[in-house]
């Protein structure tokens, strides 16, 4: 990645010191493994991908189980295009249906069907159990606070920088 004993010149940029590096590698592994563990758990126990689960979850949190496509895209961190393809598949499986949105004929509402709600109700406990077992069971209150605070700061930093959009 860019260790101190790396073949790459150490003075070519603001290098990571060994301490930062080991922290960064630990974070990298954690993010990767945790993510894929959650994916596998959902896929295996409920035949849902992570994003599919969240689509159902986000819809279920509305009283009318309905969300505009654009808004759903935002809360699930997906592009509108990706969501459109995704909803098409969920629709075919009977978990969601689309209907024109009253009031603005450009918009489409995604609506959670009864079958979709049942699916979520079945999937949710296993998901929660996995999160608790993998993440929180061995985490102290103090550590939890630090993790949350750091996560929020990094997220804010990422969003502030335009790294995910444009030039440096």
Partner DNA sequence: CAAGATTGATCTGTCAATCTTC
Partner DNA sequence: GAAGATTGACAGATCAATCTTG
Closest CB to a second copy among 64 and 104? Answer: 64
Long-range CB contact pairs, 58-61, < 8 A, 24+: 59/96, 59/110, 59/111, 59/112, 59/116, 60/112, 60/117, 60/120
Task: Compute how many other C-beta atoms are within 10 angstroms of the C-beta atom of residue 144.
Answer: 12
Q: Which positions from 138 through 167 interact with a second copy, judged by CB under 8 A?
A: 138-139, 143-144, 146-155, 157-159, 161, 163-165, 167
C-alpha–C-alpha distance, residues 59 and 31, integer Å: 26
Q: Which of 99, 93, 129 is nearest to 111 (CA)?
A: 99
Q: Tell which one of 49, 68, 108, 124 touches a second copy (CB under 8 A).
A: 124
Which residues make Cβ contacts (< 8 Å) with residue 116, sequence separation at least 6? Answer: 56, 59, 90, 94, 95, 96
Least Å from the CB of residue 109 to DNA: 7
Place of tokens 């603001």: 14
Which of the listed partners (a second copy, DNA, none) does 88 bind, with a CB threshold of 5 to 8 Å by partner kind? DNA
Q: Tell which one of 4, 44, 93, 114 touches a second copy (CB under 8 A).
A: 44
Q: Tell which one of 37, 49, 93, 108 touches a second copy (CB under 8 A).
A: 37
Span interacting with a second copy, options 79-87, 88-96, 101-109, 137-145, rule CB under 8 A: 137-145
- The values of phi and psi at residue 7, to 5°, are -55, -25
For position 4 contacting a second copy by CB under 8 A, the verdict is no
Residues near DNA (CB under 7 A): 49, 51, 68-71, 73, 78-89, 98, 101, 104-109
Least Å from the CB of residue 139 to DNA: 28
For position 66 contacting a second copy by CB under 8 A, the verdict is no
Least Å from the CB of residue 69 to a second copy: 20
Place of tokens 């496509």: 69
């Amino acid at each position: 990645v860019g260790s101190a004993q790396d073949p790459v010149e150490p003075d070519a940029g603001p290098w990571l010191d060994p301490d930062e590096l080991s922290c960064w590698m630990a974070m990298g592994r954690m993010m990767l493994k945790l993510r894929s563990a959650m994916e596998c758990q959902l896929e295996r126990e409920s035949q849902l991908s992570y994003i599919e689960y969240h689509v159902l979850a986000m819809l279920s949190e509305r009283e009318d189980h309905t969300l505009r496509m654009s808004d759903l895209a935002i809360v699930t961190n997906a592009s509108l295009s990706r969501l459109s393809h995704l909803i098409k598949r969920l629709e075919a499986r009977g978990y969601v249906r689309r209907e024109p949105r009253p009031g603005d004929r450009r918009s489409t509402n995604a609506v959670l069907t009864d079958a979709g709600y049942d699916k979520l109700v079945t999937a949710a406990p296993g998901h929660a159990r996995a999160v608790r077992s993998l993440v929180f069971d061995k985490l102290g209150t103090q550590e939890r606070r630090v993790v949350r605070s750091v996560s929020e700061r990094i997220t804010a930093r990422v969003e502030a920088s335009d790294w995910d959009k444009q030039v440096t």
